[in-house]
Structures are given as structure tokens and as C-alpha cells.
């Protein structure tokens, strides 16, 4: 397990500095809003919002997930680092199983079956299957998984936040009792 201090140092290296964001020519028009402290502060309300947003954009946005989550985090008052980090849920190792699960879920929800003869036919049969069965099933499953994982991430991160605060308070009280 990675130590919290080491994790913090890694995050400090990976996250761009305030000066680099403020001087970036693309971000200069919105730098004041982007650099507002509420977007970067880790609070019990902003972190779950960021986690849920990162889950949604990570699954539903095929490319440019981190910029999409950062832009969407601004009006939603979500934590930008939490939203950006959670988009890494989808990566080259997790995307294929996620899409297979999404297709299975979508097929089940829409009541579709895959016939083996579809793949034995010509290209037009395959394209017809893709447009009428495969595509809608995959899209339905992806949206369902994204919303479900976002809700789970929101409440899960809220519970983890609560556990962390209670643990911190308990350790502080034990330390005070030991000193007294």
C-alpha cells in the first residue's frame, strides 16, 4: 500500500501549478474561475461530486475525459482533481471488460439475443446487427453502468470521507488522553 505522504508527493508532481494554469494561453480567459479555491479544495461535498462526475465522463466520453471532467466540474462545484483522477477508472485494461458488461446489460435490458449466424454472414448482415442490436444494447448498457457507478462512487466516497474524519478524530482524542 502506498503511504499517504508519498501519494501526496506524487499528486503534487502530477498536478500543474497555479502559475502554469494562469499563464496558459488557452485557459487565460477562464483562469480566474478555474483557479477558484472551491474547485481545488477537498471537502465532504466537492469530492463525492468529483468522483461521480469522473465516473460519468470516464465511461461516457471516449476521448478527452480529463478535460471534459474538469470543464463540467466548474458549474457543478465538484473537486477538479477528484474528477480527473476518477476518469482513470477506464483504461486499456478495464475498458474491454466494461464494454462487454455494458453490452450484456444492455442486451438484457432491451431483451435482445445475439444469433451466431450474424457473424457467419456477410458484412451487410454484421452492419445491420451493429445498427439495430449491438449499438443500442451497448449504448444502453454504458449509460446504465455510468449512472450506476456514478451513484455508487458518490455515496461510496461520501462514506469513505466520513470514515476518515471519524478515524482522525478518534486518533486525536486517544492522543490527548494519552498525554493527559
Q: Tens of pLDDT along 85-126?
A: 999 988 889 988 998 899 889 988 988 776 566 666 677 776
Residue 131 has pLDDT above 90, yes or no: no
- Residue 86 resides in a domain: yes
Note down the domain range covering 100.
36-179
**pLDDT tens-digit readout, 70-89:** 889 988 889 988 999 999 98
Residue 108 lies in a domain: yes
Structural domain contains residue 20: no
> Mind listing the pLDDT tens digit for each residue in 139-148?
999 999 999 9
Tell me the per-residue pLDDT of 9-57, one tens digit each, with 9 for 90 and over: 777 777 777 677 778 787 777 777 777 777 788 888 889 999 999 999 9
What domain count does the chain have? 1
Q: Is residue 153 part of a domain?
A: yes
Q: Is the dihedral of CA 48, 52, 53, 58 positive or negative?
A: positive
C-alpha to C-alpha distance for 143 and 123, rounded to whole angstroms: 27
Global confidence as pTM: 0.75
Residue 82 · residue 70 · CB < 8 Å: no
Task: Measure the CA angle with vertex 156, ends 153 and 161; round to 5°.
Answer: 120
Separation of alpha carbons 21 and 111, rounded Å: 49
- The pLDDT value given to residue 62: 86
CB 144 within 8 A of CB 108: no
Amino acid at each position: 500500500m502506498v503511504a499517504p505522504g508519498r501519494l501526496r508527493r506524487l499528486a503534487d508532481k502530477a498536478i500543474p501549478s497555479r502559475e502554469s494554469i494562469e499563464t496558459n494561453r488557452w485557459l487565460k480567459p477562464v483562469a480566474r474561475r478555474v483557479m477558484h479555491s472551491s474547485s481545488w479544495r477537498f471537502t465532504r461535498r466537492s469530492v463525492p461530486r468529483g468522483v461521480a462526475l469522473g465516473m460519468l465522463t470516464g465511461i461516457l466520453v471516449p476521448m478527452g475525459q480529463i478535460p471534459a471532467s474538469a470543464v463540467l466540474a466548474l458549474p457543478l462545484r465538484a473537486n477538479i482533481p477528484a474528477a480527473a483522477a476518477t476518469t482513470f477508472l477506464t483504461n486499456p485494461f478495464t475498458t474491454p471488460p466494461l464494454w462487454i458488461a455494458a453490452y450484456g446489460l444492455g442486451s438484457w435490458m432491451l431483451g435482445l439475443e445475439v444469433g451466431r449466424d450474424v457473424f457467419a454472414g456477410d458484412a451487410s448482415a454484421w452492419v445491420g446487427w451493429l445498427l439495430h442490436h449491438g449499438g443500442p444494447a451497448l449504448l444502453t448498457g454504458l449509460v446504465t453502468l455510468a449512472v450506476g457507478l456514478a451513484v455508487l462512487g458518490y455515496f461510496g466516497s461520501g462514506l469513505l470521507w466520513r470514515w476518515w474524519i471519524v478515524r482522525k478524530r478518534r486518533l486525536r482524542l486517544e492522543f490527548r488522553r494519552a498525554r493527559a
